[in-house]
Chain A
Amino acid sequence: MRSVVRFICMLGATATGLVGVRSASAQSTPARSTQVVECTKCHADRDLLSANASGARQDSALFVTGAVLDSSVHHSLQCTDCHRGFGAGFPHQASQVVVPCSTCHEKEGRDWAASIHARNAETVGDAPTCVGCHGSHGVRAATDPRSPIYPLNVAGLCSRCHGDPRIIGRYFTGPAYQEARVAATAFPKSVHGIALTRDGLVVSATCSDCHRAHLILPPDSARSSVNRANIPQTCGKCHAGVVKVFEGSAHGPGYPKQPGIAEGHPKPVCIDCHSAHEIVRADRPAWQRSTVQKCGSCHEHLYETYFETYHGQVTQLGSNLAAKCSDCHTAHDMRSPTDPKSTVFAGNLVHTCSQCHEGANANFVKYYAHGDPRQRTKYPRLYWPWLLMTGLLVSVMAFFVLHSVLWLIRNGIEHRRGGHGPRGPGGGGPIDDGPGVGPAGGSPTSGGSES
């Protein structure tokens, strides 16, 4: 009997989004109110339910055991607190099955009502409502490890819908669909996901920490926590120190626009460099190298010239030996070279370069970390040597390639004409007129042996 109850409870849990009901039977039973005792006389009796509630589903909706209620955070409530008007007596007369949760959970209800889930619930009808995530009779506190909204369980909860390509295909299109797919597949491998799944770090960010629990809105909504403008604030809930530094940097919203920055690039926010769902540890070497590309997607010229230096070349070869953007410009406190607080401000360069180049002095830092020899007016010191060397390279090679090609052609002509070696015989005699006119010995043999 007990195992049957347990099985049915499990069914109920599956349908209502409840986990961990199993332990209900193991828990010591607190004193139940008389009303609960009364209601469960019928609602915990499966046979009675199916016999009387004709047409009613024979599933969990009406089947509620005292044990499930005991395990709930609502265990002190009366049945009629939610099922108002369902007094004693059968058949029940109430028309409203359940009062809105927002009757008590006012703010959560209001937030949900404004969310994309609520909008979809109205239009399509299959978006999650309160019980979809929290469960119904067995609702547990968020701090309860058995709750579906316990931090370590949230990602699994959300992925019940968001992990299904067919479901998200109904609500997301284009790049948003791609990102939604990435969210489901890549998040568990991200630094946040690993912290949750591998280390059980409950303070690590999970879906609801960034997207909110109730007021979930798409990124294009200005009120969304994942709207670009709100990203630093969202990440800053945990990464408060980083965001404080970032806000003061050239990428921060208040920093004056710098000359030479390409138009059409919005200032980056956290996710532009770190991504939203594929965030990896910032000390991972491969990721550090990959950030160079991210910087370069806006700072195009600095990106190109970087790769003409030893720094860039070594980085491109997959080594972290040499400086990358953030090694000189910092990861979050990047500022204009004219800003005295900048690590690349003239007065701070000795310190910055000394991080790697021990003993760097004021002379040393006159190196052009982004010098471009093709810019004659800006880098005349580089332009002329570059022009000279390129000219030397091209002219020497052009001359000698011509020399070799002509030589080869003449060899061919002589060979066809003379029938032996491409060289005329030694001794300086004229060789145009035919073979074998030279006085010196050995040539015919040598020529013959060559061909």
Chain B
Amino acid sequence: MTRRAMDAAGRGEGPYMRRFTGFQRALHIMVIVSFLGLVATGLPLRFAAAPWARGVMDLFGGPVVAGFVHRVCAIITFGYFFAHVIQITYRLLRVEGPKKLLWGPDSMVPQPRDLRDLIQMFRWFFGKGPHPEFERFSYMEKFDYWAVFWGVAIIGTSGLFLWFPTFFARFMPGWVFNIATIVHGDEALLATSFIFTIHFFNVHLRPEKFPIDTVIFTGRATAAYMKEEHGLEYERLQRDGRVQERVVQPASRAAYLWSVTVGFIAVGIGTVLIVLVLWALLA
């Protein structure tokens, strides 16, 4: 079995292990598609004075069509947001109970260990200690997760205000729409800047990951990958004798090619968009 040299998730030895469920992968595809659509249609408005704004807007067929695409992507966003919230609620109530989900090594909730990991990471940056080992989710992944959670809530709410202003004006004064514009635009700019630089760097572009990591698309990565990226989780699985539970077949060639293609397209579009942002900010 040849490892896929281009794919960070296929690095090194060992069998492939399950990291993400099909549901999580599907949600992330929805995040990618809707987010790229939202950014591409929103940026020309945010930077309407930029030299490229008119061209990008015309590419979509003008503000009316772009606005339609933006709203369709917003609906997809609300869709994955509520699908996730419903699933989390279900898991909280029925499957795992709050204990495992809200605290501990498998939880997304920030914990003292994350702060220690962050400090340890900075110590490592300056050569003053070893690289921290991560559990199932590193502090960076947790930040990504909560940034999206907060971002969707904030941008989504302010976006709804701006989508249906006369309706919301029944309950609130018009200057709320001024604030909504500021919040919507700045939070979106933060999300755009963060995802297309920091998130891309963390998961795809840093030397260990370059040029692409397909784990979010195929849901699986090698044991070597798991040891390096989530060493504590792997150790825990070994201790509990549960490594075999997680072992899966490698992704099919079609799934692999599809994953790499989607990954490159998404990273490519994101890179173009962040270049446009920088161009607008520096111009």
Where the two chains meet, the residues of A that have a C-beta atom closer than 8 Å to any C-beta of B are 307-310, 312-314, 316-319, 321-322, 357-361, 363-368, 371, 373, 379, 381-382, 385-386, 389-390, 392-393, 396-397, 400-401, 403-404, 406-411, 413, 415, 421-424, 426-432, 440-443, 445-446, 449-451
The reply on B194 being an interface residue by CB < 8 A is yes
Tell me whether B14 and A442 are in contact (CB under 8 A). Answer: yes
Tell me whether A411 and B207 are in contact (CB under 8 A). Answer: yes
Knowing A406-B122, A449-B3, the reply to whether A397 touches B178 (Cβ < 8 A) is no
Least Cβ distance of B270 to chain A in Å? 15
Partner of B169, one of A317, A361, A422, A432: A361
Top 6 closest A-B pairs, CB basis? A446-B12, A367-B174, A364-B169, A366-B174, A389-B186, A442-B224
B contacts with A: majority SS: helix
- Which residue from chain B places its CB closest to the CB of A395 in the assembled complex? B190
Tell me whether A428 and B166 are in contact (CB under 8 A). Answer: no
Knowing A445-B12, A451-B207, the reply to whether A363 touches B127 (Cβ < 8 A) is no
Partner of B207, one of A361, A368, A406, A415: A415
Bound state CA distance, A314 and B197, in angstroms? 28
Tell me whether B170 and A361 are in contact (CB under 8 A). Answer: yes
22 contacts between A and B (CB under 8 A): A307-B49, A313-B48, A314-B45, A317-B48, A317-B62, A318-B58, A389-B182, A389-B183, A393-B186, A404-B202, A406-B125, A406-B126, A411-B206, A426-B133, A426-B227, A426-B228, A430-B130, A431-B131, A442-B223, A445-B13, A446-B11, A446-B224
B217 contacts which chain A residues (CB < 8 A)? none
Interface residues of B in 57-74 (CB under 8 A from A): 57-58, 62-64
B125 contacts which chain A residues (CB < 8 A)? 406-407, 409-410
Tell me whether B175 and A367 are in contact (CB under 8 A). Answer: yes
Partner of A317, one of B45, B124, B182, B183: B45
Given contacts A359-B166, A427-B227, A432-B129, 10 further A-B contacts (CB under 8 A): A307-B49, A312-B48, A363-B170, A363-B172, A389-B186, A426-B234, A440-B227, A443-B228, A446-B13, A449-B5
Tell me whether A382 and B178 are in contact (CB under 8 A). Answer: yes
Where the two chains meet, the residues of B that have a C-beta atom closer than 8 Å to any C-beta of A are 3, 5, 8, 11-14, 44-46, 48-49, 53-54, 57-58, 62-64, 121-122, 124-127, 129-131, 133, 162, 165-167, 169-175, 177-179, 181-183, 186-187, 189-190, 193-194, 197-198, 201-202, 206-208, 210, 223-225, 227-228, 231, 234-235
Least Cβ distance of B94 to chain A in Å? 35
Least Cβ distance of A60 to chain B in Å? 58
A442 contacts which chain B residues (CB < 8 A)? 12-14, 223-224, 227-228
Least Cβ distance of A416 to chain B in Å? 12
Knowing A357-B165, A367-B178, A400-B194, the reply to whether A317 touches B207 (Cβ < 8 A) is no
B122 contacts which chain A residues (CB < 8 A)? 406
Tell me whether B130 and A364 are in contact (CB under 8 A). Answer: no
B127 contacts which chain A residues (CB < 8 A)? 410, 413, 432
Tell me whether A371 and B201 are in contact (CB under 8 A). Answer: no
B225 contacts which chain A residues (CB < 8 A)? 446
Least Cβ distance of B196 to chain A in Å? 11
B175 contacts which chain A residues (CB < 8 A)? 366-368, 371, 381-382
Tell me whether B53 and A316 are in contact (CB under 8 A). Answer: yes
Partner of B63, one of A314, A358, A422, A445: A314
A321 contacts which chain B residues (CB < 8 A)? 63-64
